[in-house]
Amino acid sequence: MTSFRIKTRNRAEFVEITAQVRAAVKDAKLTDGACIVYCPHTTAAITVQENADPDVVHDVLLWLNQHIPKDVSGFRHAEGNSDSHIKSSLVGSSATVLVNEGDLVLGTWQGIYFCEFDGPRERTVIVQMVGR
């Protein structure tokens, strides 16, 4: 298992972390198996999404923000970030990515993203290797 840190710059943003995860797999000398990319934060998430067209990330964030706005009458959480907790739960705290012949098995247009919903902050990403 290994981890790395990410500094986010905005309240909501997706940060591509494919290169850091790929480096973790290489450093672990994992040939075949899987890696679990995990976010130990309740207002952030991990996802696999298109990385060729930045408009896809923009559109996902736009949709989440329109459907789960920050200021909803009736939210009770005192920190004022209930929307961030909901977005994190919907996207998910981890992604499992297969590893074959020492490299991540991703589609042509796929990348791994850290999803920030309550930034800017410094965050941790944990990568657990499974296999040989």
Domains of the chain, earliest start first: 2-131 (2.60.120.460)
Alpha-carbon span 73 to 71, nearest angstrom: 6
Instruction: Kindly tell me if the per-residue pLDDT of 46 is higher than 90.
Output: yes
pLDDT in tens, 81-128: 999 999 999 999 999 999 999 999 999 999 999 999 999 999 999 999
Is the pLDDT at 61 greater than 90, yes or no? yes
Whole-model pTM?
A: 0.96
Query: What integer pLDDT is reported at residue 80 of this predicted model?
Result: 87
pLDDT beyond 90 at 73:
no
Q: How far apart are alpha carbons 114 and 88 in whole angstroms?
A: 11
Whole-angstrom distance, CA of residue 119 vs CA of residue 121 = 5
Chain-wide mean pLDDT for the chain? 97
Q: Evaluate whether 34 touches 104 at the Cβ level (below 8 Å).
A: no
Reading the block at residue 31, the tokens are 């040939």
